[in-house]
Amino acid sequence: MNLTVLILAAGQGTRMKSRRAKVLHELAGRPLIGHVCRTALSLSPSRVIAVVGHQGESVAEVFLNEMKHMAPDVPAATVFQHEQRGTGHAVRMAEALLAGTDGTLLVLSGDVPLLTGETLKTLLDAHHSDKYAATVLTTEMPDPTGYGRVVREVIGDFGHIVEHRDASPAEREIREINAGIYAFEIATLFPALEKITPANAQGEYYLPDALKILKHDGHPVGVVCHHAHEEILGINSRAELAAAAAYFRHRKVSELMRDGVTVIDPATTYVDADVTIGMDSVLYPNVTLDGATVVGENCRIHSGSRLSNATLADNVTVKEHSLVFDSRLDTGATVGPFAHLRMNAHLRAGAVVGNFVEVKKSTLGEKSKAMHLSYLGDATLGDRVNIGAGTITCNYDGKNKHATVIEDGAKIGSDTMLVAPVTIGAGAMTGAGSVVTKDVPEHTLVAGVPATVKKKLDTPTQ
Ligand code: UD1
Ligand code: CA
């Protein structure tokens, strides 16, 4: 069976009140259209086409990128709908591209991101087993305002769909709504689309009218009514985007728990779509894991922390209120509380970064420690290095960044200024408050400017 997917994404999304096309708004770190692509791809289609129009260039670019990223082998194409004259008109834009293609066309909406592949499989199974020319996905909405209503015939068969704006008060009472998701046999679809007229409140060519026309012309039309209305939510406003994000979060966190992750408070746990977490890891309340973050097994992420594009091996602990961006923590590493790691910071096995330490573009070797109040930038630390409180790599001379190298077992005294470029040899030590401007040989102690008595102070009066 040949399956082509068509994603409608040309509309502006006026109700979003945004300068950005609606389908580019993000839900759990992925653009709406990316969610739709992912669902479409779970059906192994032979091709995925997007109809773009409003901000078409950017929508096309994001769509093609998402497709290339998720399924480089599935052909993806875009067609332009220059004027948005309705969903029926949008599908017609793909006619030339579909010439010579037979089989089924699954039409998805770029603004319905929560739909699952299982639901679409149910739709396609019904479509094929009952040999329908068209099958529409519907659901009972608690509040159907704004959606197209499904008007059934007396015996319960599909009759037609009426848009909210065109519906009579009696029709507006109907709670079964059109999800905007359809399976069509390509052979009979396009002749039916030609017969659609824009005789409605919006003066648009409505795709749902194709169902009525097919039925009128004697083709069987099916309905699959899905129980989970949350999945069918179409995003038209910011409020709906927030509602969909909440539902998505709930689903994502439920999946994590099912797979063996302890989530102390699902309601305040924010995990993006692409994040993966290993078994027996624990997420404390109020954590955010976003982007392409990967967490291994048996890790603990404590409250108030955010991991963004972070890679954690097993047994890693991130203590309260720490930020880990684009960085890597090897097995047994510990971070925080109040630590900030960014731009390819890399902690090797068992390394520790403690309170108020910032690490940028630096590597800490195995079991190396920077426990308090430090800045490590453009630095490479060997194994078992100890960084005393207040140490700073002075990596910037006002124009350029310079590197600091601290070799195995070196001990940096509290408040050392390491003026880069500089290398501290293996096993060397710096005294508290040293300002190190030259390389320090292995196993050597350097120390700077000790304070001396200048005068006796008056006894303070209180
Ligand atoms: C549509 C359905 C409605 C259904 C609802 C479900 C029609 C006429 N109505 O209404 O029955 O209940 O979806 O969410 O189809 N688009 C284009 N080109 C256009 C117009 C729209 O590509 O000319 C795209 C939009 O970008 C969007 C999708 O089609 O992704 C649906 O369009 P939208 O305007 O959101 O339709 P609704 O009013 O929500
Ligand atoms: Ca919509």
Ligand 1 nearest atom to the CA of residue 202, by list position: 8
Ligand 1 nearest atom to the CA of residue 207, by list position: 15
Ligand 1 nearest atom to the CA of residue 111, by list position: 30
pLDDT of residue 425: 97
User: In this structure, which residue's CA is closest to atom 16 in ligand 1?
Assistant: 11
Q: Report the DSSP beta bridge partners of residue 381.
A: 406
Q: Whole-angstrom Cα distance, residue 285 to residue 261? A: 13
Ligand 2 center to residue 100 CA distance, Å? Answer: 30
User: In this structure, which residue's CA is closest to atom 33 in ligand 1?
Assistant: 11
Catalytic residue of the set 69, 372, 402, 443: 372
Q: Is 414 helix (H, G, I), strand (E, B) or coil?
A: coil
Question: In the chain, where are the structural domains located?
Answer: 3-232, 261-456
Cis peptide before 421 (omega within 30 of 0): yes
Ligand 2 center to residue 335 CA distance, Å? Answer: 44
Ligand 2 center to residue 217 CA distance, Å? Answer: 28
Picking from 209, 211, 207, the residue whose alpha carbon sits closest to that of residue 180 is 207
Query: Cβ distance 39 to 12 under 8 Å?
Result: no
Query: Cβ distance 271 to 259 under 8 Å?
Result: no
Residue to mutate (ligand 1; options 54, 59, 109, 174; most atoms within 8 A of CB)? 109
Ligand 2 center to residue 297 CA distance, Å? Answer: 40
pLDDT of residue 12: 85
Picking from 396, 398, 392, 399, the residue whose alpha carbon sits closest to that of residue 435 is 392
Query: Cβ distance 138 to 159 under 8 Å?
Result: no
User: In this structure, which residue's CA is closest to atom 22 in ligand 1?
Assistant: 10
Ligand 1 nearest atom to the CA of residue 83, by list position: 23
Ligand 1 nearest atom to the CA of residue 22, by list position: 26
Q: Whole-angstrom Cα distance, residue 40 to residue 109? A: 11
Ligand 1 center to residue 216 CA distance, Å? Answer: 23
pLDDT of residue 310: 98
Q: Whole-angstrom Cα distance, residue 156 to residue 81? A: 36
Ligand 2 center to residue 265 CA distance, Å? Answer: 32
Ligand 1, CB cutoff 6 Å, lining residues: 8-11, 51, 81, 84-87, 89-90, 109-112, 147-148, 161, 163, 177-180, 206-208, 234, 236
The kind and range of the H/E element at 244 are helix 238-258
User: In this structure, which residue's CA is closest to atom 7 in ligand 1?
Assistant: 206
Nearest bound ligand to the CA of residue 22: 1
Residues with a beta carbon under 5 angstroms from ion ligand 2: 111, 234, 236
Nearest bound ligand to the CA of residue 14: 1
Catalytic residue at 25?
no
Ligand 1 nearest atom to the CA of residue 236, by list position: 35
Nearest bound ligand to the CA of residue 180: 1
The CATH number given to 261-456 is 2.160.10.10
Nearest bound ligand to the CA of residue 229: 1
Ligand 2 center to residue 253 CA distance, Å? Answer: 26
State in words which class domain 3-232 has: alpha beta
**pLDDT digits (tens), the chain, 462 positions:** 799 999 999 998 899 999 999 999 999 999 999 999 999 999 999 999 999 999 999 999 999 999 999 999 999 999 999 999 999 999 999 999 999 999 999 999 999 999 999 999 999 999 999 999 999 999 999 999 999 999 999 888 999 999 999 999 999 999 999 999 999 999 999 999 999 999 999 999 999 999 999 999 999 999 999 999 999 999 999 999 999 999 999 999 999 999 999 999 999 999 999 999 999 999 999 999 999 999 999 999 999 999 999 999 999 999 999 999 999 999 999 999 999 999 999 999 999 999 999 999 999 999 999 999 999 999 999 999 999 999 999 999 999 999 999 999 999 999 999 999 999 999 999 999 999 999 999 999 999 776 678 888 887 766
Q: Whole-angstrom Cα distance, residue 148 to residue 137? A: 12
Ligand 2 center to residue 165 CA distance, Å? Answer: 13
In which residue are the tokens 């038209």 written?
A: 236
Strands (E), 349-399: 352-355, 358-360, 363-364, 369-372, 375-377, 379-381, 386-387, 392-394
Nearest bound ligand to the CA of residue 164: 1
Residue to mutate (ligand 1; options 18, 81, 85, 87; most atoms within 8 A of CB)? 87
Tokens representing residue 93 in the block: 């834009």
